Amino acid sequence: MAKKIQSGKDIKVKDINGKGETNTLLKIDFMTPKEIIKELDKYVIGQDKAKKSVAIALRTRFRRNNVPDEIRDDIVPKNILLIGPTGVGKTEIARRIAKLSDSPFIKVEASKFTEVGYMGRDVESMVRDLVETAFINEKTKETEQVIDKAKQNAEELLLDILIPRPPQTAKKNGAVKGGIKDESDKDSYYNTREKFRKMFLEGKLNDRFVEMEVKSSNKAPIPVIEIFSQSGMDDIGQDFKDIFSNIFPKQKKLEKVRVSEAFDILVREESERLVDNDKVVKNAIQRVENSGLIFIDEIDKIASREKSYGPDVSREGVQRDLLPIIEGSNVMTKYGVVKTDHILFIAAGAFHVSKPSDLIPELQGRFPIRVEMDSLSKKEFVRILTEPKGALIKQYIELLKTENVALNFAEDGIERIAEIAEEVNLKTENIGARRLHTILEKIMEDVSFEAPYGKAKKVLINKDYIDERLKEIIKDEDLSRYIL
């Protein structure tokens, strides 16, 4: 039975499988909903309703892991549908909660999928991509754990290349043929080896060239096999590349490389050898099944819009293909079968033309939590420019600092940028905070271009500076539609 701990900072899942086994990979310190929202506030401005919903969803995962075994499997995630225009923070919220909970995460676009029978990506590919992401993450973690041992082994192998070990030969007629003849030879060899080790560690051998076997990147062409299946053709092609790469031996060739490069190659090969791939696969599948998160963007693009012919038939087909994945089914991947029952799905769409009720009823029911995102105004734009950890203004200041340019944004300049962004969004297409990127790039164009030449060491970005740079564009509404 899982250990129940009430403190938000001390929460640890002891038994995710209900089998009395400890799963160290799922010992994630979950935070309380208020702590999650506080963390999200560092990266996403506003959108309190959406933050509250995802915080509850994340906390519910912890609660599920601590309920009695007999009802754990019956508790399914409460999937979320975010409704709002582009650029208001939908994707960023999903990405940040995945990072907070150390969950496997991918973003997909619903409009890229096609109904089974049509050419294009099938919906199951999103699960395969999620497993691939989890596998890479788990392999990276395992590699970090063995990297010290891999470096030690690589160091010894590199010294074997630099100072080849003498061959040990048997005595013949009482005499030693080659090899280490006595203890003095042995001491001499190891003393020389240690001298080379010291030189290598001090970096004195980095530019020396050595000859070593390197895996060739010029692999033999894989035979073309045409297969028709429900799976997307891109997935089939990748699977067959993996199959044939395991069948055919990897080619090696002798190459001359620098010592520093040779060491990196040996570390990589030793890491591959030391990592237990079976354990990585097992952990990756377990992470996907219990804490995976899939963000489906542009779900409004597959809404049927009250028609039942033409392209709308295909849209409805994609919805029906999505349904079993979101409901919970078994998906075959190259790493094994993956259950999707407890993967959290967050869908998002602007729903300008269609509306959520245009989705098929079964799919609507699989997204019980619906949140309407707030439109961003001048007030939010000012905060977005200055408050988040990676705020745009902070980025520009640090980027130009590398060119010895001291960039300073005046308060009236920041407000003017936010004001222009709000005006352009109202007059043209509303793309939310992404409008700030466009405006700032236009304002900073001359400074960025001239920075390497040292013509300006200090630059003040105020209201007058901005109006001067954008006066022609602001006057001409038609031009601003194309430029901003």
Q: In order along the chain (484 residues), what is the average pLDDT of each group of 10 residues?
A: 40 41 41 88 89 89 84 88 89 88 90 74 91 94 93 91 71 49 72 88 88 65 44 51 56 81 91 93 93 92 67 76 92 93 92 88 92 90 90 92 91 93 85 89 90 83 90 65 60
Task: State how far the Cα of 4 lies from the Cα of 115, in Å rounded to an integer.
Answer: 44
Q: What is the domain range of residue 148?
A: 141-276
- As for how many domains the chain has, the answer is 2
Half-sphere exposure of 105 toward its Cβ, with a 13 Å CA cutoff? 16
> Is residue 97, in this structure, part of any structural domain at all?
no
CA angle 229–231–234, rounded 5-degree value: 110
**Alpha-carbon distance values, 374 to 5, 36, 377, 415 (Å):** 35, 19, 9, 20
406, containing H or E segment: strand 406-409
Task: State how far the Cα of 123 lies from the Cα of 108, in Å rounded to an integer.
Answer: 10
Place of tokens 């299946």: 229
Q: What are phi and psi of 157, to 5 degrees?
A: -65, -40
Cβ atoms of residues 196 and 205 within 8 Å: yes
Give strand pairing partners of 80.
Answer: 346, 369
Single out the residue of 395, 402, 387, 411 nearest to residue 460, CA to CA.
411
**Same domain (yes/no): 272, 382:** no
Q: How far is CA 42 from the centre of its chain?
A: 19
**Same domain (yes/no): 146, 270:** yes
Task: State how far the Cα of 40 lies from the Cα of 96, in Å rounded to an integer.
Answer: 7
> Is residue 33, in this structure, part of any structural domain at all?
no
Task: Output the six-digit token pair for 250.
Answer: 């990897």
CATH code: domain of residue 395:
1.10.8.60
- Looking at 276, 300, 332, the residue that finishes a domain is 276
**Alpha-carbon distance values, 109 to 77, 106, 348 (Å):** 21, 10, 9
Give strand pairing partners of 82.
Answer: 348, 371
Cβ atoms of residues 415 and 382 within 8 Å: yes
CA angle 349–345–363, rounded 5-degree value: 70
The DSSP line for 162-211 is HSPPPP---EETTEE-SS--SHHHHHHHHHHHHHHHHHHHTTTTTT-EEE
**Same domain (yes/no): 388, 265:** no
> Is residue 187, in this structure, part of any structural domain at all?
yes
Helix (H, G, I), strand (E, B) or coil at 255: strand
Pairing of strands 293-297, 344-349: parallel
pTM: 0.77
Give the model's pLDDT for residue 306: 59
User: Using the 8-state DSSP alphabet, how is residue 213 labeled?
Assistant: E
Give the model's pLDDT for residue 191: 87
Give the model's pLDDT for residue 8: 41
Give the model's pLDDT for residue 246: 56
Task: State how far the Cα of 473 lies from the Cα of 484, in Å rounded to an integer.
Answer: 8
Task: State how far the Cα of 308 lies from the Cα of 80, in Å rounded to an integer.
Answer: 27
Task: State how far the Cα of 481 lies from the Cα of 450, in Å rounded to an integer.
Answer: 27
Largest CA distance in the chain: 102
> Is residue 421, in this structure, part of any structural domain at all?
yes
> Is residue 87, in this structure, part of any structural domain at all?
no
Rg of the chain taking only CA atoms, in angstroms: 29
- Looking at 260, 276, 292, the residue that finishes a domain is 276
Give the model's pLDDT for residue 121: 79
> Is residue 134, in this structure, part of any structural domain at all?
no
Cβ atoms of residues 271 and 234 within 8 Å: no
Task: State how far the Cα of 426 lies from the Cα of 118, in Å rounded to an integer.
Answer: 39
Give the model's pLDDT for residue 239: 55
- Looking at 226, 261, 276, the residue that finishes a domain is 276
Single out the residue of 315, 399, 393 nearest to residue 354, CA to CA.
315
> Is residue 261, in this structure, part of any structural domain at all?
yes
**Same domain (yes/no): 272, 147:** yes
How many helices (DSSP H) and strands (DSSP E) are in the chain? 17, 13
> Is residue 311, in this structure, part of any structural domain at all?
no
**Same domain (yes/no): 272, 395:** no
